[in-house]
Structure 1
Amino acid sequence: MKLSVLLDRARDHALPVIAGIGDDDLTRPTPCADYDVRALLDHLLHVVVEFQKLAVKQDADFSHTPSYPDWRARYPAETAKLVEAWGQPGADEGIAGNMNMPAQVVGGLALLDLTIHASDLAKATGQRFDPDPEVFAEVEALVKQMGPMAIEMNVFKEPVAAPADASPFEQLLATTGRDPRWSA
């Protein structure tokens, strides 16, 4: 399935989570120990903006994360731009900007962030999140492919044990170093 279609499906599953975040939620902890809800919203929006640049083979700047006070309005707009950017002819071909990785893999990383961080935000704010099945399959394959390198780059933490009755998505979360049954 085309990357932009998968990104659009991931967006469709993330948007209700973002819309469900209230002002009282912003200081809550998340499964990402380095981020509270507000910081994770900024991080995710920054990823969405920078990955638009990577789709058109421009360099991205992840050296700092700006604050997005207008995140409620910007998230739907910027994720729509992300889907559009990765849907352009050639976006998933060649090398993506200064990441020096195949564009198809880089686009997959955007898909991974949209999926995993939407789950993180849902857990932190008491919402339910279920990824699109085809998005899940793509993210699962990417996590398996990137595993050791992602740990070295501090993208993932060391895997944790998943409960015996863990769902496939909970098992995936455990592979990224998240407690699949985390709660605030």
Structure 2
Amino acid sequence: MNTGELLERSLAYALGSVSAVPPGSLERVTPCAEWDLGELLGHLDDSLDALYEGLTGRPIGLFPKGTFPAGLFLEAASDPVCGFRRRACAVLGAWAAGHPDTVVVGDRPLDARVMTAVGAVEIAVHGWDVSQACGRARPIPSALAVELLPVARCVVADEDRGVRFAEPVAVSPSAPPRDRLLAFLGRLPEAPRFLSGPGPVCLP
């Protein structure tokens, strides 16, 4: 598995979701029960920050340190969509420029390919969360989900349930890989429902 390519495809999918966020929508509910859309976009920035830390040889802390160039860090706060786009490009640039084989997460070493694959899962699934919050049916591409599902199954343990992820949702074994990926990570793999109003609004 080429984890750099996997990350690039996940970022491209998530960028398509983030780019469709309408103005004035940051308080919308999301599939992540504790976060509104603004908080979810902030979490995505934190994820990009952690990937950038690791790929540029810095230890990955438990809390983001703002290791992006200052302009990108400030831009993300003032314009979440443009900030995400430029920070995603910075992460891919760090991968392409060469990176350490091992990264440090907290005080533990981790294979950089594992970190990158896990980052790809998180970014793609949260990209789906963003599209749901905006009331848009934008499924994760099937080929991408096929590669992300075994990664998720390897890295999400029982102790993560109720902390980092919800309990898995029952879904048919014959369901498409993207539905099985979402269900495994505690999401209902169904199209959003809409309310009337200025722009699509998703019901929780």
TM-score per shorter chain, which class? 0.7 to 0.9
Q: Is it true that 1:80 corresponds to 2:66 in the alignment?
A: no
**Across the two proteins, how many residue pairs are aligned to each other?**
183
After superposition, what is the alpha-carbon deviation per residue over 1:10-52, rounded to whole angstroms, capped at 9, x for unaligned? Answer: 2222222111101232111111001111110111012112211
Deviates more, 1:174-183 or 1:149-158: 149-158
Structure 2, unaligned runs of 5 or more: 67-75, 193-202
Q: Give the match for residue 70 of structure 2.
A: none
Q: Give the match for residue 200 of structure 2.
A: none
Is the contact between residue 11 and residue 79 of structure 1 (CA under 8 Å) also seen in structure 2?
yes
**How many Å separate the matches in 2 of 1:166 and 1:174?**
10
After superposition, what is the alpha-carbon deviation per residue over 1:135-175, rounded to whole angstroms, capped at 9, x for unaligned? Answer: 32231111111131662582222212126774321111111
Q: Is it true that 1:106 corresponds to 2:115 in the alignment?
A: yes
Q: Give the match for residue 156 of structure 2.
A: 147
**How many Å separate the matches in 2 of 1:97 and 1:147?**
16
Q: Is it true that 1:123 corresponds to 2:128 in the alignment?
A: no
**How many Å separate the matches in 1 of 2:129 and 2:49?**
19
Deviates more, 1:67-76 or 1:113-122: 67-76
Report which of the two has the higher share of helix.
Answer: 1
Q: What secondary structure is seen at the aligned counterpart in 2 of 1:101?
A: strand
Is the contact between residue 25 and residue 37 of structure 2 (CA under 8 Å) also seen in structure 1?
yes
Distance 1:19 1:161, change over 3 A: same
Q: Give the match for residue 171 of structure 2.
A: 162
**How many Å separate the matches in 1 of 2:161 and 2:136?**
31
Structure 1, unaligned runs of 5 or more: none
**How many Å separate the matches in 2 of 1:33 and 1:137?**
26
Distance 1:101 1:8, change over 3 A: same
Deviates more, 1:162-171 or 1:68-77: 162-171
**How many Å separate the matches in 1 of 2:56 and 2:177?**
33
**How many Å separate the matches in 2 of 1:63 and 1:37?**
20
TM-score (norm 1): 0.85
After superposition, what is the alpha-carbon deviation per residue over 1:43-83, rounded to whole angstroms, capped at 9, x for unaligned? Answer: 10121122111112312234369982321221111001111
**How many Å separate the matches in 2 of 1:70 and 1:47?**
17
Deviates more, 1:160-169 or 1:137-146: 160-169
Q: What secondary structure is seen at the aligned counterpart in 2 of 1:120?
A: helix
Is the contact between residue 118 and residue 152 of structure 2 (CA under 8 Å) also seen in structure 1?
no
**How many Å separate the matches in 1 of 2:136 and 2:191?**
13
Give the greater-gyration-radius structure (CA). Answer: 2
Q: What secondary structure is seen at the aligned counterpart in 2 of 1:100?
A: strand
Q: Give the match for residue 11 of structure 1.
A: 11
Is the contact between residue 27 and residue 38 of structure 1 (CA under 8 Å) also seen in structure 2?
yes
Report which of the two has the higher share of strand.
Answer: 2
Identity %, equivalent residues:
22
In the alignment, which of 66, 89, 92 is matched to residue 98 of structure 2? 89
TM-score (norm 2): 0.77
**How many Å separate the matches in 2 of 1:85 and 1:153?**
33
Tell me which amino acid in the other structure corresponds to 1:94: T
